[in-house]
Structure 1
Amino acid sequence: MFSAFSAAPKPMEHSELQALVRDQIIQEAGVDFESRPILAMYSCFFPDPRAANYDDLLKLLLQRLDEVVESDYVLVFFAAGSQYQPGWSFLYRAYSLLGRKYRKNLKSMFIVHPSLWPRLIIQGMGAVVSPKFARKLVWVYSLAQLGGSVPLKQLHVPEAVLAVDAKSSSGKVSMEKLPPDTSSVFGKPLEEIMGLNGEEGLPRVVTDCIEYIRKDGMNVEGIFRRSPASQQLQAAKRAYQTAESTYDLQASGDVHLACVLLKTFFRDLPNPVFSAAMYDTIRGIQSLPTDSARLSYTKNTILPLLPRPTYLLLEATFALLHDIHANSSTNLMTSTNLTIVWAPNLVRSDNPIADFSMGAMGAQSGGAGNVIRICIERFEEVFE
């Protein structure tokens, strides 16, 4: 079932295997160019099967996936550098245990540096892998090619993968690039769009998205968790080339397009809402004992650090998210769910691991998750 190896190592404790899955084998890597969460999986960190129970490993991998599969997501599987390669039977069990939500919400699976082993395995599973699932598989032969589909700087790339890439990248593989984005709105500093004090008002794309979502999206189950067609998103972005755009967003008939456009606008900002320079201040919220104290800290210490245009943009967006949260009995998007979806678009630095910790929920997180949740739940008190 696995490649040959030497003397048997010490058996791994369940807690050790759990930590290996959480910290190394599967890692969050921000969002892709369409604001969908990215999960990266690394075969080079797979443990020796004589030391680890691979049935337990499979269960832990699925539990890790459970944290993101409620919404659309992409998976980047780094196949290079693997010493222990699971065979057909392991992958068959893994595919069989992947429920409908895992397969449906997976938009793309990029298999990076595929050797003969994964290609043969996938071909051998052809009888059980559905054609729809197979179409989601993208074979990627270099990191440069991968960079055309997901932001490379958000991914942790182990030395073993870099070594394989250095040997295999010969320029023979054509680069898969996204269509050039000629937008003068997306990726532009807010001060240039809105004025230094926000006197020019919110960007048209933002107001259009908020208006459309309020009209047709408040009771849509899983709002902000679905994605439109990539071609439709790119067309809409190109249509909003200038602040004078007359593009009719509601004519698209897809409220999920408005949701992704709004998230993409935030993700593309050259200066993120919660930048690395604010991380130390944001962490201060974690030591406060009550939500009332956290609310006061958010309102009086964190938000005043933001430029006026950023503050106004957040105010309009959190007003929308607050109302969506108020309708969570029908749309199932509570403040916690909305925080999980939105944090990767608001928290960004050069360290994706620090960003994930900062945006996560819970006592051990960096704090931005709590800031976002409080802004959603208690919007009127925060932004009064």
Structure 2
Amino acid sequence: YKKNLKALYLVHPTNFIRIIWKIFRAVISVKFGRKMMYVNCLNELSQYLNLDQISIPQPVLEHDERLMAKNSRFSSSSAAAPSPPHTPAPTPLPTQQFGVSLQFIKENHQGEVIPPLVRQCVEFLSSPDALETEGLFRRSANVSVVKELQAKVNQGLPIEFNGDVHIAAVLLKTFLRELEEPIMTFDLYDEITQFQSISKDERPRHVKILILEKLPEDNYQVLKYIVRFLSKVMDRCDLNKMTSFNLAVVFGPNLVWSQSGQLSLSAIAPINMFTDFVLVHHDQIFII
């Protein structure tokens, strides 16, 4: 997937690594070389990635603290200088769809349960050409274009995908990932991450209880809408290579995460298994 790589961030690079990279950069493709970015500390990395959704090992955090403390001693500013005051999050625009709740979108879009962006992405991706695109939902898209379209959506402006299925696919995943609360809600996180421990005979009943009884009605409707679309993607897996398992790997972390925002390695397998089960048995789970 080197061709799909948009950026490679090297955190806490040593001088030795910098020298080695400088030597070998001459024999590595120029295009790949531009994707390599040095990041001296986690604070710099936070400008590009949402660190709350990354499980960073404790030794890395401790090393980062030591580096920051060391740098502060040589800084012209005092290490004891007070940190800047916390700036409250800006009030979202009524037209905003990214980074807000399903309820907020519903209240500000004429009571529509299915967010307009979700509907637009799904309708665009439901064409035969889009459904048969190899690597649908696994391929990346131009980051700057995605951010530009996000801004337009939040401002209530119309957007066009210009025939690029990967732009629409990434926007759909980004929408789900940036919701204030995941589609499967924080309350159901612990039960979902215990999915592997449930016997195979009990899994159908357990999943039905989670989705039909415990999931809020609006969340249920959005999940059903997305899963039924993904079933169409699965039906063409011979062409797009997106089996239920591959889709579960992509969508699982975008449907389920904890209130802390971090996704531990131990939670990935049960979340993906749960998502795969929902996709495979969707016609037995969701009420028409």
Instruction: Tell me the TM-score range normalised by the shorter chain.
Output: 0.7 to 0.9
Q: Which runs of 5+ in 1 are unaligned?
A: 1-100, 173-179, 361-366
Counterparts of 2:118 and 2:76 in 1: how far apart (Å)?
40
Q: TM-score, normalised by structure 1?
A: 0.63
* In the alignment, structure 1 residue 267 sits paired with structure 2 residue 177: yes
Amino acid at match of 1:344: P
> 1:174-215: per-residue Cα shift (whole Å, max 9, x none)?
xxxxxx99771111111121259x952311110000001111
3-state DSSP of counterpart to 1:217: helix
- Higher helix fraction: Structure 1 or Structure 2? 2
| Structure 1 pair 351–184 and aligned structure 2 pair: CA distance change class (3 A) | closer
Q: TM-score, normalised by structure 2?
A: 0.82
Identity %: 33
Q: Do the aligned partners of 1:281 and 1:302 also contact (CA within 8 Å) in 2?
A: no
- Higher strand fraction: Structure 1 or Structure 2? 1
What is the RMSD computed on CA atoms of the aligned residues? 2.6
Paired positions, count: 264
Counterparts of 2:193 and 2:151 in 1: how far apart (Å)?
38
* In the alignment, structure 1 residue 159 sits paired with structure 2 residue 62: yes
What's the CA shift for 1:245?
4.1
> After superposition, where does 1:119-268 map in structure 2 within 5 Å?
119-153=18-52, 154-156=54-56, 157-168=60-71, 170=75, 184-195=96-107, 199-215=111-127, 216-241=129-154, 245-249=157-161, 252-268=162-178
What's the CA shift for 1:352?
3.0
Q: Do the aligned partners of 1:299 and 1:382 also contact (CA within 8 Å) in 2?
A: yes
Larger RCO, structure (CA 8 Å, separation 6 or more) = 2
2:215 is matched with which residue? 306
> 1:26-54: per-residue Cα shift (whole Å, max 9, x none)?
xxxxxxxxxxxxxxxxxxxxxxxxxxxxx
Deviates more, 1:148-157 or 1:261-270: 148-157
Counterparts of 1:246 and 1:171 in 2: how far apart (Å)?
48
* In the alignment, structure 1 residue 374 sits paired with structure 2 residue 277: yes
Amino acid at match of 1:263: K
3-state DSSP of counterpart to 1:107: coil
3-state DSSP of counterpart to 1:191: helix
> After superposition, where does 1:73-112 map in structure 2 within 5 Å?
101=1, 103-112=2-11
What's the CA shift for 1:126?
2.6
Which stretches of structure 1, 4 residues or more, deviate above 6 A after TM superposition? 180-183
Q: Which runs of 5+ in 2 are unaligned?
A: 78-89
Q: Do the aligned partners of 1:282 and 1:302 also contact (CA within 8 Å) in 2?
A: no
Counterparts of 2:255 and 2:69 in 1: how far apart (Å)?
33
